[in-house]
Chains A and B, each alone.
Chain A
Amino acid sequence: MKKRFQLTNLDCANCAAKMERAIQKLDGVHEATVSFMTQKLTLDADDDRFEEILKKAEEAIHKVDPDCAIRR
């Protein structure tokens, strides 16, 4: 399943790259991109564990930048 989420307070291009790398490493993630320009996270992950993976992705984002959040 592939879903897109708007990110808030994503202020730095390098942070976006760090988040992307961290999320791509998560188990069950097929593909993930964090776009600094459009402030969007695209997450393609296992269907049955999507919520769980999304939560982990959110943690990964927080770890890089505590102010940045996924708008749901």
Chain B
Amino acid sequence: MKTFNREQRFMLLRIFLAAATLILALIAPPLFHPAVLYLLPYGIIGWDVLWSALRNILRGKVFDENFLMALATVGAFFTGEYAEAVFVMLFYQVGELFQSYAVDKSRRSIAALMDIRPDSANLELPDGSIEVCDPELIAVGSMIVLKPGERVPLDGVVVEGASTLDTAALTGEATPRDVAVGDTVYSGCINRQGLLRLRVTKPYSDSTVARVLELVENASEKKSRSEQFITRFARYYTPCVVLAAAALFAIPSILLALLPAGSLPAFLAGTSWSSWLHRALVFLVVSCPCALVISVPLSFFGGIGGAGKCGILIKGGNYLEALARVDTMVFDKTGTLTQGVFTVTAIHPEEGIEARQLLEYAALAESYSDHPISQSLRTACGGALDISRCTKTEEIAGMGVRAVVDGKHVAVGNSRLMEREQVSTLPCSLPGTLVHVTVEGFYAGHIVISDQPKADAKAAIQALRASGVRRVVMLTGDSEEVASTMAAQLGVDEYHAQLMPEDKVRCTEDMLQQRTGRGTLAFVGDGINDAPVLTRADVGIAMGAMGADAAIEAADIVLMDDQPSKIAVAMAIARKTVAIVRQNIVFALGVKGVVLVLGALELASMWAAVFADVGVAVIAILNAMRALHVDKKP
């Protein structure tokens, strides 16, 4: 019985006892007045409800669940429906128990999803000994040691050792990440193999894990519109139904007492005041608001928790709701749809020169530079280059490099450098950045370098369209050709090229104006320099946020890793959650409405009423818990 807590076990015991004594009362010979027989099970199961009700009345608070249940069952008792009164109370308590169990369970499973809090850190003291202590107490700059199997407690840089980290806790993906000296590691990841020595770069409160936890824990503060609707509805619903109950009992009773039997209206003929009381009691049971109120936040809580498991952090139910309605999705190209890393996509040597040779000349000439383009050249060469082949490098700012490679004079750079070198270049049909090369003063060819689309970008866009996104827009600072090629390649229907950061804000604002109906606009950025647009859009989505603090701050939805397909997963979760919420609202209101109508016509028993209250709550909760289970595939 580990699944129940102490209070719940106690309640379970009461339920069994009450059920047993109720059965005894039903089969016992009528030695006593039935009221006495049924008082025992009623007391066992209902004393706390009665007590709370009494306490609330004394403090002038009516319309609370306890009061309504107490009034309804006591009323049933007085009209001689003893067994029914006990049954109703029993069923109510079973429902309440189940409710608290289900809520506990979903709280626990979300806590388990988010169980990425590191318990301790191995602090290395100046004398080389290790002290295990609380991560919150460790200062920036301290050295910590991470053993295999342990969770990274604080963000830091590897000083010694190499290992593979499991980032699943943060990103939801089991892809291991290799780290070596100089690499940054993020708290929350698990060290798979080697021993690592880290230098702490952030205090615990600013570390990735603390920020992620804070974000998820506070997501319930931003309430969704459905949640606000349902609490507002409950506020008026209960008093209205209680007043209706009072009227349902009082008006017929007064008429029955005042009018002579012959002149009664048709609906009163042959009825007694106790039958009207019974109908009123049905109303009271149905008027409890909790079933409605609980199922909505529970669904959003589940959806946000389930998303968290996939490395998608959603900052509130309102954003989940807005995400479900996105019909315009705007991407800031670099870092979202493309890798944001330059790679060599083509090598066009002139006649008489080998492609490999051209690439090596360029890479060697640029070998002293850290520029992304130089890096891409080196990566394309693969393996280690013998840097000693290159002597006498001379960097020409904004143009390129001149160097001596293998004893030959080589110039590597853009078209302006070529003008300076007085060689004519050939145009290229491919989009991207061109790196021209001359050898001994003659044009040797060019290398095309461009940003590559992410592997799942095209599939992600298709999945987004399937989930109801009508307009996919790509914004970029790149040239027209690069943008149009990329857009065609990815199946994006609209792009705006050569934009400065402020143009992106303006562009997004224009599109916000063009929204129609209930559709919302989402902006997806990599969190670098796009905070203004992220905040301006209805839903701001930042990708690849592991370690990018600004993105976590500015966005409404944060993807820990950088796969665009996660946006489609997020949308699927949002749509599912919103659908569950809608089902619950319609179902709960529908059942309550039907029972109210039937109750007024004396067609619904107290049984039906209890079902409409706790039964519906239980079903709604079970439905809400579906939101927690997430299909990771979009």
Contact = CB atoms under 8 A, between A and B. Distances in A.
Contact of A37 (B55, B290, B301): B301
A66 B55 CA distance: 9
Contacts of B59: 63, 66
Contact of B217 (A13, A15, A17, A38): A38
B293 A14 contact: yes
Contacts of A63: 59, 61
Given A4-B218, A40-B220, A42-B221, A11 B61 contact: no
A36 B218 contact: no
A46 to B, nearest CB: 19
B583 to A, nearest CB: 18
A14 B289 contact: yes
B218 A42 contact: yes
Interface string B358-393: 000000000000000000000000000000000000
A17 B301 CA distance: 16
Interface size class on chain A is: 10 to 19
Interface string B149-167: 0000000000000000000
Contacts of B290: 12-14
Which of A35, A63, A64, A66 has the most B CB atoms < 10 Å from its CB? Answer: A35
Contact of B294 (A4, A20, A36): A36
Interface in B196-251: 217-218, 220-221, 223, 231, 234-235
Contacts of B231: 14, 17, 20
B294 A13 contact: yes
Tell me if A's interface is mostly helix, strand, loop or mixed.
Answer: mixed
B294 A33 contact: no
Contacts of B301: 37-38
B124 interface: no
Interface in A46-72: 63-64, 66
Contact of A11 (B100, B218, B221, B235): B100
B602 interface: no
Contacts of A36: 293-294, 297
Contacts of A37: 103, 106-107, 220, 297-298, 301
Contacts, number: 52
Contacts of A42: 218, 221
Interface in A1-22: 4, 11-15, 17, 20-21
Q: Which of A4, A36, A37 has the most CB of B within 10 A?
A: A37
Contacts of B293: 13-14, 17, 36
B136 interface: no
B55 A17 contact: no
B234 A14 contact: yes
B10 to A, nearest CB: 14
Contacts of B218: 4, 42
Nearest to A62: B59
Given A13-B293, A66-B55, A38 B220 contact: yes
Contacts of A14: 65, 231, 234, 289-290, 293-294
Nearest to A66: B55
Nearest to B305: A37
B298 A33 contact: no
Contacts of B65: 12, 14
Contacts of B100: 11
Nearest to A42: B221
Interface in B287-311: 289-290, 293-294, 297-298, 301
Contacts of B223: 33
Nearest to B66: A12
Contacts of A38: 107, 217, 220, 301
Contacts of B298: 37
Contacts of A40: 217, 220
Contacts of B106: 37
Contacts of A35: 220-221, 297
Contacts of A20: 231
Interface in B458-472: none
A27 to B, nearest CB: 21
Interface string B46-82: 0000000001000101001100000000000000000
A63 B64 CA distance: 12
Interface in B602-627: none
A11 B11 CA distance: 14
A13 B55 contact: no
Most buried by B among A11, A17, A21: A17
Contacts of B61: 63-64
Contacts of B294: 12-14, 36
Given A11-B100, A13-B290, A13-B297, A33 B107 contact: no
27 contacts: A11-B100, A12-B65, A12-B290, A13-B297, A14-B234, A14-B289, A14-B293, A17-B231, A17-B235, A20-B231, A35-B220, A35-B297, A37-B103, A37-B106, A37-B107, A37-B297, A37-B301, A38-B107, A38-B217, A38-B220, A40-B217, A40-B220, A42-B218, A63-B59, A63-B61, A64-B61, A66-B55
Interface of A: 4, 11-15, 17, 20-21, 33, 35-38, 40, 42, 63-64, 66
Given A12-B290, A13-B294, A38-B301, 19 more contacts: A12-B65, A14-B289, A14-B290, A17-B231, A17-B234, A17-B235, A17-B293, A21-B235, A35-B220, A35-B221, A35-B297, A36-B293, A36-B297, A37-B297, A40-B217, A40-B220, A63-B59, A64-B61, A66-B59
Q: Which 6 A-B pairs have the closest CB atoms?
A: A13-B294, A35-B220, A17-B231, A13-B293, A37-B301, A14-B293
